Chain A
């Protein structure tokens, strides 16, 4: 039958999305911060996607 099959797939999709978000959210912010300059990281409210990406932090390492 189609409807239970679709419902099951939707449930799995949302569960996967939720788990992936739970895991990736902090990491995503961390990675995004690594491309931001110090001034941008400490800005309020935070920039989730860097407006001025920089490779300075990697160069320092």
Chain B
């Protein structure tokens, strides 16, 4: 046996021949090329762009400015305001998603007639494309003839149709609602799967010990759900920080910048102001923040296990 496959054998622990290793490389090569082109190259190239002062309005002159783009962003008050808006959007939507998804997962965990139909119904928002979701909510929130206004009017809760998305105080809540509505099914499934993996005899043992429903929930269900919560939190935080579809369709940055979040700023910088360097730098800042958050969430939740 060659030295190469002996090392591999020690690593994997099963017999591996040198022939397998070579043919494995050959089979993996096409996939690696695609992965490099589609995933790795854009990540590296966009970091490269963020180091230049690249504006498509004057593409011939793009000086290398080291980290000037980043410095200018951190000095911009608009950026910090946007960070505040992104943060509040993320906090609101992730908490709402976790709460609603947990309640729905607990519901779907019980056995009752019609559970399958309910599961199918609850998955519908997930199946809708983001853009379709945005358009639907745009029409529901419309101040002229929206369904929400109509419903409130017919229930007698308001006297006349209110301005919804154009109202500085309401607009973030409405966008959060649209986002949460779309994201809840996926979170529900992730939590439901974690719930189903809890051993049933834990509950029986607790019942024998005299624990009531609330105590069983706090001491068995919640601790066992921690990895599920971590996964949902990381994923939904990531989606909330980078989400731009709803902001694009519903408010385009909002009445007087009320919904001008960092993700929207990336779009404006890159595609409207054509300042690619700044846009790339902003996108990288978002990526680093998301990565850091995910890192801390994983660290704090895996210690509990």
Contact = CB atoms under 8 A, between A and B. Distances in A.
Interface of A: 9, 12, 15-16, 19-20, 22-24, 26-27, 29-30, 33, 41-46
Q: Chain B at the A interface: mostly helix, strand, loop or mixed?
A: helix
Contact of B145 (A20, A27, A43): A43
Contacts of B154: 45
Interface of B: 100, 103-104, 107, 110, 112, 114, 118, 121-122, 124-125, 136-137, 139-140, 144-145, 147, 150-151, 153-154, 161, 181, 185
B136 A44 contact: no
B124 A24 contact: yes
A43 to B, nearest CB: 7
Nearest to B118: A16
B121 A20 contact: yes
Given A27-B124, A44-B150, A12 B107 contact: yes
Contacts of B147: 26, 29, 46
A46 B145 contact: yes
A44 B161 contact: yes
Contacts of A27: 124-125
B150 A45 contact: yes
16 contacts: A12-B110, A15-B103, A16-B112, A19-B103, A19-B104, A19-B122, A23-B121, A23-B122, A23-B124, A24-B124, A26-B137, A26-B147, A27-B125, A43-B145, A44-B144, A44-B150
B144 A42 contact: yes
A33 B136 CA distance: 10
Contacts of A9: 112
B150 A20 contact: no
A20 B107 contact: no
Nearest to A27: B124
B145 A44 contact: yes
A7 B10 CA distance: 60
Contacts of B145: 41-44, 46
A27 B133 CA distance: 10
B144 A26 contact: no
Given A12-B107, A15-B107, A26-B181, 18 more contacts: A16-B112, A16-B118, A19-B103, A19-B122, A20-B118, A20-B121, A24-B124, A26-B147, A29-B140, A33-B139, A41-B145, A42-B144, A43-B145, A44-B145, A44-B161, A45-B153, A45-B154, A46-B150
